[in-house]
Amino acid sequence: MKMIQTRNYLRLSGIRKCFDQFVALDQIDLSIREGEFVCFLGPSGCGKTTLLRIIAGLEQQDAGEIWQAGCNISQLPPEQRDFGIVFQSYALFPNLSVTKNIAYGLQGKKLTRSQIQSRVEGLLETVGLPDAGHKYPAQLSGGQQQRVALARALATEPGLLLLDEPLSALDARVRASLREEIKRMQRELGITTIMVTHDQEEALSMADRVVVMNQGGIEQVGTPNDVYLSPTSPFVADFVGVMNFLPGTLVKPDELLLAGRPVCCPAEHGLETDSSVNLAIRPEEVELVPVGHDAMLSAELESVEFQGGLVRSRLRLEGSEDRVMVDLSSRQQSTLNLQPGTWMGVKLPSQHIRLFAA
Ligand X SMILES: Nc1ncnc2c1ncn2[C@@H]1O[C@H](COP(=O)(O)OP(=O)(O)O)[C@@H](O)[C@H]1O
What residues make contact with ligand X under the rule CB under 6 A?
A: 19, 24, 42, 44-50
Give least dist CB 245 to Mg ion, A. Answer: 27
CA distance 61 to 74: 8
CB of 37 to ligand X, least distance (A): 19
CB of 176 to ligand X, least distance (A): 22
- Name the minimum Å distance from CB 241 to ligand X: 19
User: Which one, 85 or 102, has the nearer CB to ligand X?
Assistant: 85
Q: Which stretch binds Mg ion (CB under 5 A): 42-50, 107-115, 286-294, 341-349?
A: 42-50
Distance between CA atoms of residues 286 and 284, nearest Å: 6
Does residue 197 belong to the site contacting Mg ion (CB under 5 A)? no
Question: Considering beta carbons, is residue 52 or 279 the nearer one to Mg ion?
Answer: 52
Residue 152 contact, options Mg ion, ligand X, none, Cβ 5-8 Å cut-off depending on partner type: none
Distance between CA atoms of residues 137 and 180, nearest Å: 23
As beta bridge partners, residue 328 has 311
Amino acid at 139: Q
- Kindly report the number of other CB atoms within 10 A of residue 304's CB atom: 16
Among 35, 49, 161, 212, which residue interacts with Mg ion (rule: CB under 5 A)?
Answer: 49
- The residue among 44 and 80 lying less far from ligand X, judged by its C-beta, is 44
Q: Do the Cβ atoms of 280 and 243 come closer than 8 Å?
A: yes
Distance of CA 253 to the CA centre of its chain: 33
For ligand X, the closer of residues 32 and 281 by Cβ is 32
Nearer to Mg ion, 160 or 328 (CB): 160
Query: Is 50 one of the binding residues for Mg ion (CB under 5 A)?
Result: no
Taking the CB of residue 109, how many other CB atoms lie within 10 A of it? 12
**Cβ count near 93 (within 10 Å):** 12
Closer CB to ligand X, 45 or 77, in the complex:
45
The entry of ligand X, Mg ion, none near residue 78 (CB within 5 to 8 angstroms by kind) is none
144 interacts with Mg ion by CB under 5 A: no
In Å, what is the CA distance from 114 to each residue of 111, 118, 127, 135, 297?
A: 8, 6, 20, 19, 73
Q: Which residues are 278's β-sheet partners?
A: 247, 356
- Residue 24: contacted member of ligand X, Mg ion, none (CB under 5 to 8 Å, by partner type): ligand X
* Distance between CA atoms of residues 267 and 350, nearest Å: 10
Q: Which residues bind Mg ion (CB under 5 A)?
A: 49
